[in-house]
Structure 1
Amino acid sequence: MDVNKSYADGAILATLTELGIGHLTINRPEKRNALTDQMWRAIPRALNWLVAEKAARVVAIEGAGGRDFSAGADIGEFETLRRDAATARVYEAGNSAAFAAIRTCPVPVIAMIRGICFGGGFGIAAAADIRIADDTARFAIPAARLGLAYPVDAVQDLVRALGDQRARHALFSAREFSAAEAMESGCLLSLCSPDSLDAQGIALAQAVAAAAPLSVRASKAAIATQSNALKEDMRTAATHADATFDSEDYAEGRAAFMEKRAPHFIGK
């Protein structure tokens, strides 16, 4: 039986399926899933509930309504919450915490993108481990049109997602680009028709959820060291890697391979 929890007055929805797949839904379709400050600050709590409390093995992020992923931050709040450097620092702390919660989530995060994926919405997708999209997806980083700058960590995510040159072009020009261009840049793992995105996303999430959880966590931690090369991350990755070899899942994986059967992993 699926379990659900809502945040930010229902604008952020968290669901865990019986298969151990977590779903985080940006639920404001009437505003193209633009995120309010309250929604930004709810994302880390929703992820913590899914992963730390409910033991999700993978998390898929999507926009509600079947039309858009997210238009990014709700510009209607900028006049009060992001009006100058002092207020922007407070506001962007919430943005950065959301990006960090996705980036450092101990289990893989998949962004399932359709329609508009602009600004902070693109930042959410860029912080994810894997991005898939349908061919209605459109991407843009409109900071240069708004006269503002994105948080440094969000820009680093965009560089990792798009590559150096394309990220520079996107940031400097604020130009909108298509799903096909995003695919060509390597930003997307796959591109599909609108009616098959949900099925592809579920299949991908199921494949991750069926894998050995400790091994997947160790791989994600090891990949993180390539991005920042911090000694602390190196130690974390090594700890995760060591744990796989002492786990029941490692023994089960070896046994299943020898017995030519599908393994049953329990995350221990």
Structure 2
Amino acid sequence: MIALHLDAGVATLTLDRAPARNALPVAAWHALADAAARVDADARVVVIASAVPGIFSAGADLAELARLTDDVPARAAFREAMRAGIEAVARLPVPTLAAVEGGCFGAAVALAMACDLIVAAPAARFAIPPARLGIGYPAADVARLVARVGQGAAARLLFTAEAIDADEARRIGLADAIGNPAAVAHRIAANDPGALALLKRMLRDPGDVAHDAAFEASFGSAAFRAGTQRYRP
């Protein structure tokens, strides 16, 4: 269901469950957390992508969720598994990118929002439909949605459960760009890994006073020395 592949500094976590349109059961959320933990120091960017044409992910596995009606203890197990997978992605120390090249629904939107960038193909569609099923959405993911799109747009997506296209997602800030996700990933991977890691830490916690010292120290890096060699007398 979840594969990890590294090529030229781009680590790709691939969702591959075609019969269920990449719907993610509890086991897949745990597999995602395990795969994220195996991303090594050679990765300059991590991409979450789909191996299934036309769909990023249908979200949580509804066949599994249906059992939660009667299996009360399993409710917390589902919530904790989903949280483990999403937060494992959010904690990665390198830039992360969700490559949304088809439908991205429900819990899959939460997964995409855990990434630093969401790059949507022109045919991408987004929806958060739990209200249709009579359930809520995890509080941490509601907070990420509000941070991305604002209170009003978040309320519209959650309350109406309607799907929006890539252009609308870009307009409200749910998607950061429309284009070729692989091209964006390779542009990121072409940059210095130390600088990328530093910038990721700064974006994660802009108020950390330690960033000033880290910024100054970066002028002593081998990459900066090599990159500015021709400017020195």
* TM-score, normalising length: structure 1: 0.78
Match of 1:104 in 2: 91
* 1:104-153 Cα distance to aligned partner (Å, 9 max, x none): 21111111112210001111111111011112111111111111122211
Match of 2:79 in 1: 92
Q: Is the 8 A contact 2:44 2:95 kept in 1?
A: yes
Match of 2:33 in 1: 44
RMSD: 2.3
- 1:145 pairs, out of 129, 132, 145, with 132
Query: Equivalent residues in 2 for 1:1-268 (5 A)?
Result: 11-17=1-7, 19-51=8-40, 55-81=42-68, 83=70, 86-192=73-179, 200-225=180-205, 234=208, 238=210, 242-243=213-214, 245-246=216-217, 250-259=221-230
Q: Is the 8 A contact 2:95 2:116 kept in 1?
A: yes
Measured after TM superposition, the shift of residue 83 of structure 1 is 4.6
Q: Is the 8 A contact 2:128 2:157 kept in 1?
A: yes
Indicate the SS of the match to 2:56.
coil
Gap change, CA 1:37 and 1:82, over 3 Å in 2: farther
Indicate the SS of the match to 1:144.
helix
Alpha-carbon distance in 1 for matches of 2:148, 2:70 = 29
Measured after TM superposition, the shift of residue 28 of structure 1 is 0.7
Alpha-carbon distance in 2 for matches of 1:39, 1:172 = 27
Alpha-carbon distance in 2 for matches of 1:249, 1:76 = 55
Measured after TM superposition, the shift of residue 255 of structure 1 is 3.4
Alignment gaps of 5+ in structure 2 = none
Gap change, CA 1:247 and 1:223, over 3 Å in 2: closer
Deviating more after overlay: 206-215 vs 165-174: 206-215
Measured after TM superposition, the shift of residue 247 of structure 1 is 6.1
**How many residue pairs get matched?**
231
Indicate the SS of the match to 2:136.
coil
Which protein has greater RCO, CA pairs closer than 8 Å, 6+ apart?
A: 2
* TM-score, normalising length: structure 2: 0.89
**Percent pairwise identity:** 34
